[in-house]
Amino acid sequence: MTEAGRPEDRCDEAVEDEFGEIIKCRSDEREDVQKKTFSKWINSQFSKAGKPPIQDLFTDLCDGRRLLELLEGLAGHGLVKEKGFTRVHSLNNVNRALQILQKNNVELVNIGGADIVDGNHKLILGLIWSIILHWQVKNVMKDVMAGLQQTNSEKILLSWVRQSTKDYPHVDVVNFSSSWADGLAFNALLHSHRPELFDWSVVEKMSSAIERLEHAFSKAEQALAIDRLLDPEGKNP
């Protein structure tokens, strides 16, 4: 006769299951925020080019056509697309896009054509983040890159943010996730470059993260014409 497991063993298993669910939930939430943010960025690029927006990031890029359209706007010239709609045509489109990215020295790590065609969420998000880093960050921050003698886009951006916000109390940016959740870093970054937009003491008096985030996003949109790619509720943990 099999001996029943000890109560403490069953308790440990229950705790592990609950912890696993929490981790999965947090991971899903982060994926949703990234998907929403990256979709807004892509649609802002399409809007400039007069093209219709994407509806679902994970399905609309699968045949490679919208991906090539995005690169057309970023690279500034037309790109050939397959006329058919089979899996082979989709793979040809995506592989063509990946080749163009490689020629432009966009950092692609373990991303293949089949991953995009098959709708791999993690790798699609990674691909779009690499595109954003290259065209939105590297091209804009060439002078900063030269000064830092650094080529890694994320490290460059993080170094620039830390340098810009180092004199602000309670602001310590060490990553691109949790360091921004309370809204202080967004406001500090804005204030460090455009101090005339608002008095820092106003931010310090705000009682909630959502209020501080809304303040930063509104100022960036109104004064600097920066597209609102994030929602305060989505950024707040």
pLDDT tens digits, 99-149: 999 998 888 878 999 999 999 999 999 999 889 888 877 666 665 555 555
The span from the CA of 215 to the CA of 212, in Å, is 5
The whole-model pTM stands at: 0.66
In the 8-state DSSP scheme, what is residue 182?
Answer: T
Q: Which domains does the chain have, with CATH numbers?
A: 8-140 (1.10.418.10), 142-237 (1.10.418.10)
pLDDT over 70, % of the chain: 79
Span between the terminal Cα atoms of the chain, in Å:
49
Contact 131, 70 (CB under 8 A): yes
In the 8-state DSSP scheme, what is residue 180?
Answer: G
- How sure is the predictor about 22, in pLDDT bands with cuts at 50, 70 and 90? very low
The span from the CA of 137 to the CA of 118, in Å, is 28
The span from the CA of 13 to the CA of 3, in Å, is 17
Confidence (pLDDT) at 19: 43
Which residues lie closer than 8 Å to 182 by C-beta, 6 or more apart?
A: 209, 212
The span from the CA of 216 to the CA of 223, in Å, is 11
- How sure is the predictor about 24, in pLDDT bands with cuts at 50, 70 and 90? very low
Q: Is 143 or 206 the better-scoring residue by pLDDT?
A: 206
Confidence (pLDDT) at 237: 45
Confidence (pLDDT) at 142: 60
- How sure is the predictor about 70, in pLDDT bands with cuts at 50, 70 and 90? very high
HSE at residue 35, side-chain half, CA atoms within 13 A, is 20
Nearest to 114 by CA among 127, 102, 101, 104: 127
Q: Is 34 or 16 the better-scoring residue by pLDDT?
A: 34
